[in-house]
Structure 1
Amino acid sequence: MTTDSSGTLTATALASADGADLGRIIATEPLIRTGRNWTRWAGPVISLLILVAVIYQCRQLNLGDVLALVPWSIPFWVCFALSYSASPIAEWVIFHRLWSIPLNGFAALFRKRVSNEILLGYLGEVYFYAWARRNSQITTAPFGAIKDVAILSALVGNVVTLAMILISAPFLGSLFFGKEASAFGWSVAFIMATSLLVMLFRRRLFSLPRKELWVVTGIHFLRIAATTGLSAYMWHLVLPQVELIWWFLLSTVRQILGRLPFLPNKDVVFAGLAVFLIGRESEIPSLLAMMAGLSLAAHLAVGALLGASELIREGSKA
């Protein structure tokens, strides 16, 4: 097997490899990097889009109103930082196990999250794929791993949601009625159908070894449990008069509502449910608005910082 001076596979190496060797060559050789490779400009373009989205959405954020409601206590901010970072931390653990990615992979994973949140769902996966292709320390083809991790994230979320629905079925049955009952039913059917399809075609969909798939699944479960618990504790810190168990219940219900694709006005439904369970009609809407505004502010701040830093770095290379 031979490569040229840039580490790119030569035609001789590819021509002399049989089918099995070809898959091994593609999986172990450094990835092709040429001036026409789209991954060279995909990262800067997505970073520029993030900055544009940040500037646009800053017009919708009244930071003063948000900060006026935030409790200035160390436990709250520690919980918020952990909750916001849970997804990048979980994914860094996964990809460090699969690829041994360095610590600077955290920046790419935070950009991935911000891209999905303020631009377009799964655009972050495109960015992270481009980053992995350009990272000299990653020598395995990244598409299969990123695809498997994304599918398992959705599948684990679906399984957790279905389990929560079964546990709280009597309670949810009294909550949804009329048109909302129909939307709720179709949403549950959709989640079950997509989950079954993934399981039926798992041999074709997944490329990672079975052991790694189980490890990734376990990490996703831990991430969901951590974010659910941290959300409940943050709400308790804002309104400590309400017992923590009620916040855990509401955090669980929010997890359910967030995964239902056809249910309209999810935020309205959740706010109404929170008021129904806890009362405090004047405080619950303010709390939920504050948490939503704080999350948006975090997305905008992280997006602006990381987007600008990547554009500056790429500009210095030019």
Structure 2
Amino acid sequence: MTNWLGAYRAWTESTTGKRVLRIIRWLFVIAMLVWMTLKVNAIGWRKVSDSLPVTPWFYILFLAMFLTLPISETAIFQRIYDRPMARHLAVFIRKRVLNSALVGYSGEVYFFLWARHNLSIPAKQLLVGLKDNAILSAVAAAMVTAGLVVLFLLSGQADLVTRWLNGEVKWFLAAALIAAFLLPVMLAFRNKIIGLSLGVAGSVLGLHVVRTVIVMGLQVTQWAVVIPDQPWKVWLFFLTMQMVIARLPFIPNRELLFLSAGLEMSNAIDGPREAMAGLLLAGGALTQGSNLIFFLLTSIRRPNEVPIGESLPSDETMLATPPAK
């Protein structure tokens, strides 16, 4: 394995290797642009244009939600690695886009390669920090989602779901929910202990909880400014559904899954079904369109471009690689 890695590194440093890798990087950028454009097209340009909310607050709140994660991660990773991160916000935006548009943790792979080249942090320390952050993020999200589910059940709206689901789907959903809540715990105790100190781990967990609650508040506000005459139980229902879907493992694009489920359950509102359908379509299009725009913006001017191949971890550090999300 070591010999293979050495030969690969030597090839990446050659003129041919650098040229091939440069072509691969540009092909990757083009493929990402095409892929995200197709996602927006799959939603339907005409439907989106006809149902876009007119209030500017909808778009302002969406932008705030989109940027909350990368902004919070500058504070989180500064706490984990004890390095200033605020000036690297563009890196965390790109990380968010990759995780949202591609397979989960593709953003972590990008951040690992970038950080190895720019932050001079040992590979093992980087991987431990990324692994622990992913675990703490999943635990925080599971905690908040569990609280939402309890509130949803106490609100007496469970019949909305039971009327929609048949018996087989109920069992599938139950199994998926169990996996969604147990998976973070299983991952947390996979190595019996988190590598971060108790103080750092506690502060990171707290930051993730605060960030999740802020995003939920922004999400409900965004919905309410478009359809203001709905009771809080309606938004609790859609918010719970969104958070539960976000916890389902092995789903490549949870935003589109929530869009489909939300359209199916849009008759839950006390008003025209088209209003909620238009709201969800606009939100789905904004998510995919923002991924496209921010990926393009962070591709035009990327600080200290990641050199493919030069940043591969050693055999020892590869053993600590975090699992795919």
Q: TM-score range by the shorter chain?
A: 0.7 to 0.9
Residue 74 to residue 194, structure 1, CA distance change in 2 (3 Å): same
- CA distance in 2 between partners of 1:250 and 1:238 (Å): 15
Q: Give CA deviations for 1:268-293 in whole Å, capped at 9, x if unaligned.
A: 43333332243422221121111100
Is 1:165 the counterpart of 2:149? The answer is yes
Paired position in structure 1 for 2:310: none
Shift of 1:312: 9.9
Shift of 1:186: 0.4
Shift of 1:168: 2.5
- CA distance in 2 between partners of 1:122 and 1:181 (Å): 29
Contact in 2 for aligned 1:44/1:310 (Cα 8 Å): no
Contact in 1 for aligned 2:230/2:270 (Cα 8 Å): yes
Q: Which residue identity is paired with 1:153? A: S
1:123 to 106, 126, 138: 106
Paired position in structure 1 for 2:70: 88
- CA distance in 2 between partners of 1:92 and 1:168 (Å): 32
Taking only the aligned residue pairs, the percentage that are identical comes to 23
Paired position in structure 2 for 1:10: none
Paired position in structure 2 for 1:216: 204
Paired position in structure 2 for 1:298: 290
Unaligned runs of 5+ in 1: 1-34
Residue 217 to residue 117, structure 1, CA distance change in 2 (3 Å): same
For residue 86 of structure 2, give the secondary structure of its aligned residue in structure 1: coil
- CA distance in 2 between partners of 1:297 and 1:216 (Å): 30
Q: CA RMSD, aligned part only? A: 3.5
- CA distance in 2 between partners of 1:261 and 1:136 (Å): 31
Say which is worse superposed, 159-168 or 290-299, in terms of deviation: 159-168
Q: Give CA deviations for 1:150-208 in whole Å, capped at 9, x if unaligned.
A: 1111222222223322332353365134122111210122134324324544634x211
Is 1:194 the counterpart of 2:177? The answer is no
| Structure 1 residues 1-318: aligned runs within 5 Å | 49-61=28-40, 65-99=47-81, 100-136=83-119, 138=121, 141-169=125-153, 171-172=157-158, 175-176=161-162, 177-201=166-190, 203-204=192-193, 206-243=194-231, 246-261=234-249, 266-310=258-302
- CA distance in 1 between partners of 2:127 and 2:250 (Å): 30
Q: Which residue identity is paired with 1:182? A: W
- CA distance in 2 between partners of 1:48 and 1:108 (Å): 20
- Greater Rg, structure 1 or structure 2? 1
Q: Which residue identity is paired with 1:56? A: W
Residue 198 to residue 44, structure 1, CA distance change in 2 (3 Å): farther
Residue 163 to residue 212, structure 1, CA distance change in 2 (3 Å): same
Shift of 1:83: 0.2
Q: How many aligned positions are there?
A: 280
Q: Give CA deviations for 1:102-123 in whole Å, capped at 9, x if unaligned.
A: 4332111111111112222111
Contact in 2 for aligned 1:129/1:142 (Cα 8 Å): yes
TM-score, reference length from structure 1 = 0.75
For residue 235 of structure 2, give the secondary structure of its aligned residue in structure 1: helix
Contact in 1 for aligned 2:112/2:126 (Cα 8 Å): yes
- CA distance in 2 between partners of 1:79 and 1:119 (Å): 24
Shift of 1:73: 4.0
Paired position in structure 2 for 1:13: none
Residue 92 to residue 185, structure 1, CA distance change in 2 (3 Å): same
- CA distance in 1 between partners of 2:22 and 2:189 (Å): 34
Unaligned runs of 5+ in 2: 1-8, 13-17, 308-325
Q: Which residue identity is paired with 1:114? A: V
TM-score, reference length from structure 2 = 0.73
Shift of 1:258: 2.8
Q: Give CA deviations for 1:34-80 in whole Å, capped at 9, x if unaligned.
A: x7598xx9999667524422123314435565355334544333211
Q: Which residue identity is paired with 2:239? A: S
Q: RCO higher in 1 or 2 (8 Å CA, sep ≥ 6)?
A: 2
